[in-house]
Structure formats: structure tokens, C-alpha cells
Amino acid sequence: MDIAVITFPGSNCDRDIITAAETITGQKPRVVWHKDSDIGKPDLVLVPGGFSFGDYLRCGAIAARSPAMDSVYEHALRGGMVMGICNGFQILIETGLLPGALIRNKGLKFVCRNTVLRVHNTEKPVMSKLKDGDELTIPVAHNEGQYFADDETLRRLQGNGQIAFTYTTGGSHAEYNPNGSALDIAGITSENGKVLGLMPHPERRMSSAVGGSDGRTMLTAIFEACRS
Amino acid sequence: MTSPQPEMTYENAAEMGLSADEFDRICTAIGRIPNLTELGIFSAMWSEHCSYKSSKKWLKTLPISGDCVIQGPGENAGVVDIGDGWAAVFKIESHNHPSYIEPYQGAATGVGGILRDVFTMGARPVALLNALRFGAPDHPLTRYLTGGVVAGIGGYGNCIGIPTVGGEVNFDKSYNGNILVNAMAVGLAKADRIFYSAASGAGNPVIYIGAKTGRDGIHGATMASAEFTDDAASKRPTVQVGDPFAGKLLMEASLELMASDSVIAIQDMGAAGLTSSSVEMAAKGGLGMDIDLDLVPVREDGMTSYEIMLSESQERMLAVLKPDATEEARAILEKWDLDFATIGTVTETGRLVLRKDGDIAADIPLSPLVDDAPEYDRPHVSTPARAKLDSKDVAVVDICDALRKMIGSHHLASRRWIWEQYDCDVMADTVASSGGDAALVRVHGSERGMAVTTDCTPRYVLADPRCGGMQAVAEAYRNISATGAQPLAITNNLNFGNPEKPEIMGQIVGAVTGMGDAARELDTPVVSGNVSLYNETEGTAINPAPVVGMVGRIDDIDHAVGIALTAEDLDLIVVGQTPDVKDGWLGCSVYADLFGKAVDAAPPPVDCLEERRNGSFVRDQIINGHVDAAHDISDGGLLVTVAEMTMATGGKFGAQIELPDGGNLQGWCFGEDQGRYILATRDGNALLAAAKDAGVPSHRIGKTSRDGALKFSSGDIISVKELIDISEAWLPHLMAGGHEQN
């Protein structure tokens, strides 16, 4: 399986997702530096978490204008699969591949903790190997993860089945939505269901030794969907 | 040699924190009267912060060698062997004064600085910890300082992508005007790929890497070496400004550079910036250095040689490269969009020569600058011994009421509000983070792990510095042991008041002596450290805080245990205590602080032989799979420890505890006697038998249960969920503006 991981100078979850992808697929992903416009023809583009260019400006705004992301945009328009995690999700929104905005957490603080995610809309291609209604415990770690969109966009997301993951009850926090996201949204897909963005970090839950393996379950299903 | 800068005077020297005697020594050292730049360099290098002039005599008494030690004190960080070709590289450092003046930037640059110390040695940082001390909860600045420091620590660590996995926080009025912010970084390197700072090879290029030099942080090291007055806010320009994104670029570029085989020596520009880095690199190599200050990348025009040499702008490194490697290095740095300039050469002169605008701005022989730094044997008086507290003098409070109040106090309440602002999971190798004993980090791509912790109990140190110094080491040792890991070595951060006062110097001498004795007996040498003195405001000193950062190793992380109970019907065993004990050491305890006048009593004594024997037994039982959960007994005593083990389950499991008949129940429940652990095990009889064989006192105090309650043989009962709610409520309530008074 050919996975391309786009890296920026401030990416800091690139090694984690590369390790996870190699563990699951048995193949080392290709690393594409942001200055490089040649991303090849991958089965999946992964945009990792981090602080792409420091994020002193709007998160992901500078990264979205890099040569590599121009090519990712083209790749998505051709119907290619793309997944962005955390800062990667922010970048995909800034690139225009996903609707809405990710604004500062409701509590105005960085939040790092486990969340329980519910899986939705498994009819979408990228979600097709996950089980609808499944609950996965995956951590978030972000300062700007509150999903925000106008009512019309939110209705469209619901109507088109674009809501991929929502925060749900069952964890140790009474306030199960960690950032105040609209409709408890943790992740969404594009209308064609081939571009996925989510705030939580599945690459951090690859085995019981590091707090659980629900992340591995999620990534295994997504990689499988991209291969078929 | 003529200089365009005016000759300095005693008054100029005094303004830079140098005594008349020290000024005379400088004149002797260089054979003439120094100019402004030269005096600035001497004052920085001879500041308490850089020269350890008040503490050196005592630091020399610390044990610094051991089987695992690859590099002891004297480099940017200490290095220990953790097996399989891997080395742990670690150090702790304070950023107390800057964090009080500007909490976000002060704390952020504290993290940035300690990370540079670690990656300068060729190690990739993999864990951050901290030790924080804030003022009384009801002090008007406490919320602002706590919020700012925590955001600053998170702001830097989260962005650069190193997990903050542990730490400790105290609130006490002695820190109202002088908070403590100590940051520790731990890195991993291959043991045969460590980089050092000694320059070599006359003629080799000296390279400046990283952010441009600005006017921020000028003379920060000197500020850190003086007492505060009430105009602290006016010192804001001496606080550096952090840029974690630039720090990330510098880290990646430096590690790539060191992997490329072009680096001979490398040193970060931390305290005293270009001054300390150039002086240390040249002096350690027994060489000299010529630097052209016109070639230093600067942020603004018109910077003087004094400003360039004393700036503490962040995210900068100095390196000596192999002569034919500059183009390869340039390509790496350009990839990371970093400034790169050849600013000088290594020489054989033994002198630091600085040029600016065609003139010689400074010309200093290095040997006296480094070797003739003053070293003081400051007068010291011992802290008067306190009497042992008689348990009868302490109020008798119902144990359930006491537990509620203790768990909900500033001493023991949950720090979740703080640690959830730190990314503890990035790098995906965090096995255990805040909320337990030591944190555990996996060595990437292996089953090996490192256990890391920071510890100190200032109220013990204040009461009996020697005992408190020992206790800090012993508690760190227990925290590491309670995970199953083998304690290896220490980094220390000695936070004290003004050493020119004999009673403060007495605290330093006592604490360092105690720390050294414990480190020797527990075989955990001190491999790096930092001293922060003059932590006083308007003449009032902080409670002394000789913080210990300890690193341990575990060969298979699957063998490690946490504090959370894992099942019902487990036997709860107290290790380090005999069944006939019906009392406990309440002097200096949390219980005594909350319910009595008794803080003025002596703290619990530390017996290192017992610590060693009990710790070794606990580790052995854990590694051999006989233990399901373990927690060391520290603040709050035995009952708080058991409560924490149930609370860590989220209320899923509780415990049934057998209380002793007769004696002093509050002492037994809440005494803070040292050297003890609570273990949960499926086979209590086997564990007790093993303890007997090992000569370790231990006995069964109860069993775990599924009913989510703590039940006592007295019939008392308390819900674990209720304790969790009390514990979790305190800090959010404080930070939301509820001025708690505990």
C-alpha cells in the first residue's frame, strides 16, 4: 500500500503516524516534504498533526498554501483518498477540502485527554470498513479543535452523511465533548467520502502498552478502505 | 591594546552584581581595567547562576560516579546507560525569576532552554517534567501565575512536540513573591553518539545557528542571581521570549547536523548567551576563540558588542565544525530555513578575542575567566533541630472527615486542571503519565522503558534541611521503584534564598549533604543539576526546595505496574511497616498542617538502608509478576495512599481496611513515616512470605472490593466517587476564581 505522509517543519506527529502505518501495513510510508509538489499517486495521503508553521497565524493557514498541499488538493479532486489528523484536519479545512472551521476550544485552554468517539456513516468510502455505532477511545490534544460551521453547513453535513466521528459519553469526564464542537463533531468527511479529517489521534493508541489499541482498530479499517 | 570603550569602575561592577573584591580580581586576571563588554562577560560568567560560587564547595561533595554514568556534571546534561546501547540524557533547570515577572514566557523559555541542553548532546528529547511552586491559593497573584506558567509550559512543549509526562505542584505562602518553575527534559541517544561542548582544532570554523540575536534577556543570568525587590515588573525586558516553532526547527536541524558527522563540538546559547557558549567551548578545549561580532545575525541595527554578548535571545546554538563540512551544514540549515553564519575560528591563544566595527571589543584570557571564578565558603549556621511531635498534641478528627478534607486540600487535590493542558502522548511512547508515581516512557521501537519523576517536600527541608534533602532522593527512589523500574541517577535543582545569610547557607549545606548521603546509599549519583539562589522577595526567603529529578530503567514495560487497583479481592499489603505499629509520624505531615499547630515539629526521619531494602523487594516482586498495583506512601500517609489507589480506578474498585486496635488511629492512618509502599496482590500470603525471607517488614491491611467504597473495620465508610469529586473540584474551583483558603 502506498501512503504519502506530508510533512511540514512543525509537524510533530509525523513519526507517530509513520510508525503506526508501517506497523499496520508492513510497508514504510513515503515522506513528502512540504516544499515538494510531487506527491506521486498514493492510495492515501496522510496529513499528520503538529504545529505546521508554528500556527501563530490561523492554524494550518500557511501549510495549506504549500506546494505539497496544492498537489494534495489535485489528488483529492481526482477522487484520491486523504486523511488529516489534528493539525492535518485544520490544514485540510484551510485547503478547502473540508467545510467549516476549527476554532479555539470552548474552555480557551489546550486540552489533552481521552475521548470516546462514536463511528457514523460507514457508507462513505473512507469509513466503509469501520462499524457503524462502534465506540472507540482515542485521545485529543489540541488548542483549536472546536468544530464550527453555520447552521446551513451543519445541516448539509448531516444530510449528506458527512459526520464521521462524534464525541460521546462513557469516558471519565462528565463533559464528554472536550472542546465545545458543534453537534459533538470530532471528524468529518468530504461529500464524496474520500477526504477525512479528525481531531483525535488514533496513532497514539496502537497497543495496550500505550493506553489502548482502539487507534489501531480505526487506522486498520481506514487503510483497508483505501486499499479496496 | 586600546579600546574605544571606556574603562569600568567599582560602581559599574556593582551595577552588574560584582563586589569590589571581584572587580579587583578581574583587573588582576586581565592585567588592566576591563571595558564594558569585558566586565559584562566577567559578571555573567562569575554570576551565581553560571559560576555556582556559593554552592560549589558543597556541590563537590555529591556522588557523581557509578556504573551507569556515561557523563556526570559539567556538560549540558548528564548521561546514563539504560542498556541495549541506549543512553538517557537529562537535566533539570530553573526559570524562577523570569516566570514570576512574565509567567507565560518565563515558563516557556524554561522549557525551551532545558530541551536545548538535551538535544545539544545529540539526544532526541522524549519527555518533559516539571516541579512548580506557587503562592498561597488565596494570594491575589496565584491564579494569574499558575495559569500563565501552565499555559507557557504547555505552549512550548506541545508545539515542539515533546510530551510533558509528569511533575509536581505545591502551593505555599512562602512562594507568594517568588514562585519556582523548574523544568526537566529527558532525551534518548545511542550511547556511542553523544556530543560534547569542548572545542578542538585551531583554525576550525565557529558557526552560529538559529534565531537572530536581539535585545531580549540581556543580563538574565545576573538578574537570576539577585534578590527581588518590589519593582520586579520593571525587569520585564530581561525576560526572554520563546518561539517553540523556531525551537523545533533548531532541534531538528541540530539533530540532523549531528547525524551528518560534520560537528566537532556544539553548545546551546542558554544563560549568558554567546558569552557562556563561546567561553565554555574554548575553555573546555584548552583553546581560544576569535569572534567577529559584525558577522553575528542580529534582529536590530546598532547593537553594541556588550548587547550581542549578553543577549539571551532564545533558539540559538554555537558549533565548531570540521573545516570541510560547512557546505553540508549550510544545506541542512537552509532546509530548515535557519540562520547560519561563520562568525569566528578556534585559536591556540587561550584568549577570547571579540572584534566589532574594526576594533577589538574584548580580549580576555580564558583560563582566569573560568578557573579563577570566585568560590566562597560562606558562613553557615545549622537549622535548629525541632522536637518530635507527640501524637497526643494533634487534634483527633474522624478519619472519613479527615480524608475528605485532606484529599480536597491544596496539598493533595488533583492537578488534572494542570496536566490536561500538557500534551502527554505525542511521540506515542508514553506508557504512564501524570497522576501516578513515576511516569514511564518507552524507548521508541523497543520494549525497554525509562521511569522519570520529580520530587521534593519543602516543608520537611525547612524543618530539617539534611533530612529533607535525603527525603527528596528517597521519595524519588520510591516513585521509580513503585513502577518496577530500577532507579539509576539524579539531576537536581537547588532552590534556596540568599546564600549570604548564614541561616540560608545552613539550609543549603544541610540539604546538599543529606541529598549526597541518600544518593550515595541508594546508588543514584547526581549527573547534572542547577542551582537557583536569591529566591527572596523583600528579604523573605522561600521554603527551601532541593528538587530531585530521577531516571530509572525497566527492561520490559509490560512488567511495569501503576497505582490503580486492577481487580477485586486483591490483598493490600503495606511494605515497610510491622503489624504491631499502631501510631505514625505526624510531625510536618499534611494532617498536622490541616488539623493542628504541628508543622513546627521534626519531619519523618529517612533510613536509606531501609529504603534500599524495601525498594529492592518491591521492584523484585513487581518484575516477577506478583504485584497488580503499587503506590509509595508519601504526602498524607497510608490511608491517602490507599484512597488514591481506589480513586485511580474511577471508583470501579474500593477497599476494605482493617484498622489497628488502640494506639493513635490518626497517626496510623495519616502519619508520613518513610520507606513504605502499598502493594495490591493476588496472593498476599506468598508476598508476605517473600517479604519475611527478604527481611522486609510488611503486613496485610485489607482487601480490594467492587463496591466503590472505602470501608473500615470500625464501620466507617466513604464513597470513592465522593473522594474523586472532592479531589477534582479544588483546582478548577480555584482557577475559576473561588479563593480557597486551606
Report yes or no: A8 at the B interface, CB cutoff 8 Å.
no
Residue A206 in contact with partner chain B when CB distance is under 8 A: yes
| pLDDT reported for residue B741 | 47
- In the predicted model, residues of chain B with pLDDT beneath 50 are 1-3, 740-742
The pLDDT assigned to B740 comes to 46
Amino acid at B733: H
Q: How many residues does chain A have?
A: 228
Smallest Cβ distance to B427: which of A9, A16, A55? A16
- Residues of chain B whose beta carbon is less than 8 angstroms from a beta carbon of chain A are 151, 154-155, 158-161, 243-246, 248-249, 252, 336-337, 419-431, 442, 444-445, 557-558, 650
The 3-class SS string of B172-232 reads CHHHCCCCEEEEEEEEEEECCCCCCCCCCCCCCEEEEEECCECCCCCCHHHHCCCCECCCH
Cβ contact B557–A209 (<8 Å): yes
What does DSSP assign to residue B742?
A: -
Q: Do B428 and A113 touch (CB under 8 A)?
A: no
Q: DSSP letter string over B307-324?
A: HHHH---SSEEEEEE-GG
The pLDDT, as a whole number, for residue B125 is: 98
| Per-residue model confidence (pLDDT) at position B167 | 96
- Secondary structure, 3-state, B501-536: CHHHHHHHHHHHHHHHHHHHHCCCCEEEEEEECCCE
Contact (CB, 8 A) for B65 and B72 = yes
For position B217, what pLDDT does the model report? 73
Contact A56 B245 (CB under 8 A): yes
Report d(CA B358, CA A114) in Å as an integer.
60
Output the DSSP codes for B593-651: HHHSSGGGSPPPP--HHHHHHHHHHHHHHHHTT--SEEEE--TTHHHHHHHHHHHTTTT
Report all structural domains of chain A as residue ranges with CATH numbers, in order of start: 3-227 (3.40.50.880)
B160 → closest Cβ in A12, A113, A206: A12
In sign, the C-alpha dihedral spanning A73, A78, A83, A89 is: positive
Q: What radius of gyration, in Å, describes the C-alpha atoms of chain B? A: 26
pLDDT of amino acid B226:
66
> Strand B78-83's sheet: what is its strand order?
B69-71, B78-83, B86-94, B180-190, B124-134, B164-171
User: Could you please report the per-residue DSSP string of B39-55?
Assistant: HHHHHHHTSHHHH-TTT
C-alpha grid cell for residue A150? Answer: 453555520
What are the DSSP calls for A15-64, one per residue? HHHHHHHHHHHSSPPEEEETT-------SEEEE--B-TTTTSSSTTTTGG
Collapsing DSSP states into helix, strand and coil, what is residue A203? helix
| Spatial distance between the Cα atoms of B111 and B368, rounded to a whole number of angstroms | 32
∠B263-B264-B267 over CA atoms, to 5°?
85
Q: How close are the terminal C-alpha atoms of chain B, in Å?
A: 64
| Buried b / exposed e along B705-717 (16+ C-beta atoms within 10 A) | beebbbbbeeeee
Of B151, B245, B423, the CB nearest to A141: B423
Distance CA B145, CA B155 (A): 15
Nearest CB to A112 within list B155, B161, B420: B420
Instruction: Test B337 with A110 for CB contact under 8 angstroms.
Output: no
| Secondary structure element (H or E) that encloses residue B419, with its range | helix B416-419
Chain A to chain B Cβ contacts (< 8 Å)? 93
What is the Cα–Cα distance from B631 to B561, expressed in whole angstroms? 9
End-to-end CA, chain A = 10
The CA distance from B9 to B12, in Å, is 5
Q: Is B427's CB within 8 Å of A210's CB?
A: no
A60 near A90, Cβ under 8 Å?
yes
**Helix, strand, coil percentages, rounded to 5, for chain A:** 30, 25, 45
DSSP β-bridge partners for residue A167: A117
**Hey, are the CB atoms on A15 and B431 less than 8 Å from each other?**
no
pLDDT digits (tens, 9 = 90+) for A94-114: 999 999 999 999 999 999 999
ipTM of the complex: 0.97
* pLDDT tens readout for residues B95-121: 999 999 999 999 999 999 999 999 999
- Contact residues for A155 (Cβ-Cβ < 8 A; gap 6+): none
Among A31, A110, A143, pick the best mutation site for testing chain B contact (most B Cβ within 10 A): A110
Determine whether A132 is exposed, middle or buried from the number of CB atoms within 10 Å of its CB (0-12, 13-18, 19+).
exposed
CA dist B503 to B228, B465, B471, Å?
A: 19, 11, 20
Q: Which residues contact B358 (CB under 8 A, 6 or more apart)?
A: none
Catalytic positions of A, written as ranges: 86, 201, 203
A219: its cell numbers: 487506522
Which residues, at least 6 apart from B637, have a Cβ–Cβ distance to it below 8 Å? Answer: B584, B589, B590, B591, B669, B670, B671, B672, B673
Choose, out of A8, A12, A17, A53, the residue to mutate when testing the contact with B (most B CBs < 10 Å): A12
